[in-house]
Chain A
C-alpha cells in the first residue's frame, strides 16, 4: 500500500509541477498583455484586450470536470493518450493558464502608476517597462498569487482521478469511493492537505523575504 501511495504522491507532484510550469509559461505573458493593452496600460489596444478578456472568461466558466472530458481529443494529439498523469497535464494547463493570467493581471495592476510614469520619463521603452518595472515590482504579489494558483492546480489534479488521471486523487476515488476503503481515502486526503500547506508556506515565505517594502 505504501508503494502505491508513494507512486500516487509522485504522480500528483509531477502533474502539479508540470502543469504549474506550463500554465505560468502561458499565463504570465497573457497577464502582461492584459495589463499592457488595457485602457490605462502602456500600450492601449482595446479590441485585443476585449477579445482576450472574453476568451479567458469563457474558458474559466467551464467546470474543470467538463473541460477534462471536452479536451480529450486534444490531449490525445498532444501526449498520445487520454489516461495517466501525463494526460491530465493538457486539460490542467488549459484550465489554469487563464486563471493565472487573471492573477498575474491583478498583481501587475498593483504597481504604482507613478513609478511607470517615472520610467517613461527616463525614456524607457515598453519592453523595458515590462521587464524592469512591472514584473520586478510586482514580484512579491506574483508569489502570493502563485501560492493560490499552485494549490488550486493541485486540487484540480486530484479531480482528474475520475477520468483515470492517476495520482493521489485516483487512489482516493478508486479505493475510498468505489471500494469503501475509507482509511486509504483519509490517508490520501491527509497527504493532500500537507502538500497544500507546504506549497502555501513556501510561496508565502519567499514572497515575504523578497518584498523590500516592509522592513
Chain B
C-alpha cells in the first residue's frame, strides 16, 4: 500500500527541570493514503505529542517523519512550512481567531500561503457551504456553538487542499450528538475529497465510528496496531482490552469454574452461537459479561461465560473449535480486573 506518512523509529524526549521525560519511544507507523487512522491512548500516553511530531510542531529527538517518502528532518524552516500547508489540523479547543469573522478565519490559511484575496474569499465561501455554515459567514467565533466552531475549524484546515488532516481530540469538547455530526463530516471529507485523516482520541467510540485502522499507545509506545475490526474482536494488549472492555470489574462472587471469553466477528454474531453450544453440549452456561458493537457495519463483540467443571468446559471448547469461533480461557481472581 502507498503510505502518505511514515514514522520510523521515532522518539521524543522533553528536557525539563526535573530531568528528561520520554514522551515517545520507538514509534513505527505507516499511514496509508486515503485511510482514516486512529491513535488512541489514555491521557499522558504521548498521543498528542505524536500527532504534533507529524507536522513538526514538535521535532522528534530520534528517528524521523517521512511525508510522501521525504524525511522532514532534512527540510529547512521554509520546507517544513510548505509541508504543513499539505497537512490541515484541527484541535480540541478549535483555536479560531477570535477577532476575525468566520469567513476571514477560513481565508486565513489561504492568506498565509499568498492566495489573492478574491480567490481566497471564493474558496472560503465554498468551504463554508460544505460545512453548512454559509449563512453565518459574518459571525464571529464567540457567537457560535462548539460544533459550529469545529465546523469552521475543519473548513479552515482543508482550505489549502491538504492531503492529510490531523485531528487532535477534535470531538472531546463536544456533546455526543455534535460529536457524531462532526465525525460524519470528517468521514465525508475523507471519502469525497480523498483526504487522509489521522484521529487522536481517548474515546473508543470515535475510533469505532470512523477509523479504518488504529494504533493503541501506552507509556510512549505503540502497544498494538491493526484493523479496527480485528482489534475490537481480539485485543492482544492489556491496554487494548482495558480500552475496549471499559470498566468491567470483577465480581467477587464468581470465582469458580472455567471462564471463557468468546469473540464474535461480524459473521458469528448472526448465529446463535451460545444457544447452539448449550444445546449440542448439554451443559449449563453462566454469562458473566457480554458486549457487542457495530463496527464498520458489522457486529463484533465478546462475551465472557462461566462453565462449572473441567469436563463440561472441554466439551464447550471442542464445540467452539468445531464451528471456528475464537475464544480464550481467562483467569478471574479476586481483586484483579476481569480480563
Contact A123 B97 (CB under 8 A): no
Which residues of the partner chain B approach A213 to less than 8 Å between Cβ atoms?
Answer: 98-99, 140, 142
Assess the B57–A115 pair: CB atoms within 8 A: no
**Interface 9-mer from B86-94, B245-253, B283-291:** B86-94
Contacts of B143 in A (CB 8 A): 215
Per the CB 8 Å criterion, the residue count for chain A at the interface is 25
A212 x B99 contact (CB < 8 A): yes
Task: Provide the main secondary structure of the chain A interface.
Answer: helix
Q: Are B93 and A212 in contact (CB under 8 A)?
A: no
Looking at chain B's contact residues, the main secondary structure is mixed
Residue from B82, B84, B97, B160 in contact with A133 in the complex, judged by beta carbons closer than 8 Å:
B97
**Which residue of the partner chain A has the closest CB to B166?**
A121
State whether B91 touches A214 (Cβ < 8 A). Answer: no
- Which of A46-54, A124-132, A147-155, A175-183 sits within the interface? A124-132
The minimal Cβ–Cβ distance linking B158 to chain A, given in whole angstroms, is: 11
A119 within 8 A of B: yes
Distance between B179 CB and nearest chain A CB, rounded to angstroms: 20
Any A CB within 8 A of the CB of B43: no
Distance, CA A214 to CA B140, complexed state (A): 9
Complex contacts, A120 vs chain B, CB 8 Å: 57, 84
A117 within 8 A of B: yes
Give the docked Cα–Cα distance between A120 and B57 (Å): 7
Q: Does B85 contact A (CB under 8 A)?
A: yes
Per-residue interface assignment for chain A, residues 35 to 68, with 1 indicating a CB less than 8 Å from any chain B CB and 0 otherwise? 0000000000000000000000000000000000
Selected from B55, B96, B100, the residue in CB contact (under 8 A) with A136 is B100
Give the CA-CA distance A114 to B111 in the complex, in Å: 19
Is the CB–CB distance between B85 and A137 below 8 Å?
A: no
| CB-based contact B84/A122 at 8 Å | yes
B108 partner, pick from A117, A132, A211, A212, beta carbons under 8 A:
A132
60-114 of chain B: CB within 8 A of chain A: 80-85, 87-89, 91, 93, 95-101, 108-109, 111-113
How many Å lie between the Cα of A124 and that of B84 in the bound state?
Answer: 9
* 15 extra interface residue pairs, beta carbon distance < 8 Å, beyond A122-B109, A124-B81: A115-B95, A117-B95, A118-B89, A118-B91, A121-B84, A121-B88, A122-B88, A122-B160, A123-B80, A124-B112, A125-B112, A133-B97, A136-B97, A212-B141, A213-B142
Interface residues in chain B, defined as those with a beta carbon under 8 Å from any beta carbon in chain A:
55, 57, 80-85, 87-89, 91, 93, 95-101, 108-109, 111-113, 140-143, 153, 156, 160, 166
